[in-house]
Chains A and B, each alone.
Chain A
Amino acid sequence: MREITYLEAVREAMSIEMRKNNDVFLMGEDIGVYGGAFGVSRGMIEEFGPERIRNTPISEAGIAGAAVGSALTGMRPIMELQFSDFITIALDQIVNQAAKLRYMYGGKGKVPMVVRTPSGSGTGAAAQHSQSLEAWVTHIPGLKVVQPSTAYDAKGLLKAAMDDDNPVIFYEHKLLYKTSSEVPEEEYSIPLGKADVKREGTDITIVATAIMVHKALEAAAELEKEGISVEVVDPRTLVPLDTETIIESVAKTGHLVVVHEAVKRGGFGGEIASMIAESEAFDYLDAPIKRLGGVETPIPYNPELEKAAIPQVPDIVNAVKETLTKKAVAK
Chain B
Amino acid sequence: MEQTKTLKLVPELSDEKLKGLYQQMWLIRYFDEQVDQFFAKGLIHGTTHLAVGQEATAAGACALLSDEDKITSTHRGHGHSIAKGGRVDKMMAELFGRTTGYCKGKGGSMHIADLDKGNLGAMGIVGGGIPLAVGSALTAHMKKLDYVTVCFFGDGASNEGSFHEAVNMASIWDLPVVFFCENNQYGMSGNVSEMTNVEHIADRSAAYGIPGVVVDGNDIIEVINATYEATERARRGEGPTLIEAKTYRWKGHSKSDAKKYRTREEEKDWRDNRDPIKRFKEDLLEAGIATEDELETIKQAAKQEMDEAVEFAQNSPMPSLDELLTDVYA
Interface residues of A (CB under 8 A from B): 25, 51-52, 56-57, 59-75, 77, 92-93, 96-97, 101-112, 141-142, 144, 165-166
Contact = CB atoms under 8 A, between A and B. Distances in A.
B135 A65 contact: yes
A118 B328 CA distance: 26
Interface stretch (B121-129, B178-186, B266-274, B275-283): B121-129
Interface string B126-139: 00101111111111
Contact of B131 (A62, A77, A107): A62
B28 interface: no
Interface residues of B, number: 43
B168 interface: yes
Contact of B162 (A92, A101, A102): A92
A107 B102 CA distance: 10
Contacts of A57: 165, 168-169, 172
Contact of A104 (B72, B111, B161, B330): B111
B169 A56 contact: yes
Given A59-B168, A63-B169, A102-B328, 11 more contacts: A57-B172, A63-B131, A64-B131, A69-B136, A71-B135, A72-B132, A73-B120, A73-B136, A97-B128, A144-B329, A166-B330
Nearest to A101: B121
A-B CB proximity, top 9 nearest? A65-B131, A69-B135, A62-B165, A106-B104, A106-B103, A59-B165, A107-B327, A165-B330, A69-B132
Contact of B128 (A63, A75, A92): A92
B9 interface: no
B328 to A, nearest CB: 5
B128 A96 contact: yes
A108 B134 contact: no
B139 A74 contact: yes
A109 B101 CA distance: 16
Contacts of A142: 328-329
A261 to B, nearest CB: 27
B17 to A, nearest CB: 27
Interface in B159-213: 161-162, 165-166, 168-169, 172
B1 interface: no
Contacts of B137: 69
Given A69-B120, A73-B120, A141-B328, A61 B138 contact: no
Given A61-B165, A62-B165, A108 B113 contact: yes
A68 B121 contact: no
Contacts of B111: 104-105
A105 B107 contact: yes
B45 interface: no
Output the residue of A68, A77, A92, A104 with the most chain B CB within 10 A: A104
B65 to A, nearest CB: 15
Contact of B135 (A52, A66, A108, A109): A66
B115 interface: yes
B165 A107 contact: no
B105 interface: yes
Contact of B330 (A63, A73, A74, A102): A102
Nearest to A111: B330
A66 B170 CA distance: 10
Nearest to B130: A65
A193 to B, nearest CB: 11
A109 B111 CA distance: 13
Given A103-B328, A106-B101, A69 B134 contact: yes
Contacts of A51: 142
Interface of B: 70, 72, 101-107, 111, 113, 115, 120-121, 123-125, 128, 130-140, 142-143, 161-162, 165-166, 168-169, 172, 326-330
A153 B168 CA distance: 37
Contacts of A101: 113, 121
A144 B330 CA distance: 11
A267 to B, nearest CB: 23
A72 B136 contact: yes
A17 B146 CA distance: 26
Contact of A65 (B113, B115, B166): B166
Nearest to A100: B111
Output the residue of A61, A93, A106, A109 with the most chain B CB within 10 A: A106
Nearest to A239: B329
22 contacts: A59-B169, A61-B161, A61-B162, A61-B165, A62-B134, A62-B162, A65-B130, A65-B135, A66-B135, A66-B169, A68-B135, A69-B131, A69-B132, A69-B134, A75-B142, A75-B143, A92-B128, A96-B128, A104-B103, A104-B107, A106-B105, A108-B113
A108 B118 CA distance: 12
Contacts of B135: 65-73, 75, 77
A79 to B, nearest CB: 10
B282 to A, nearest CB: 39
A53 to B, nearest CB: 12
B330 A110 contact: yes
A68 to B, nearest CB: 5
Given A56-B169, A73-B120, A68 B327 contact: no
Contacts of A59: 165-166, 168-169
Nearest to A93: B131
Contacts of B128: 65, 92-93, 96-97
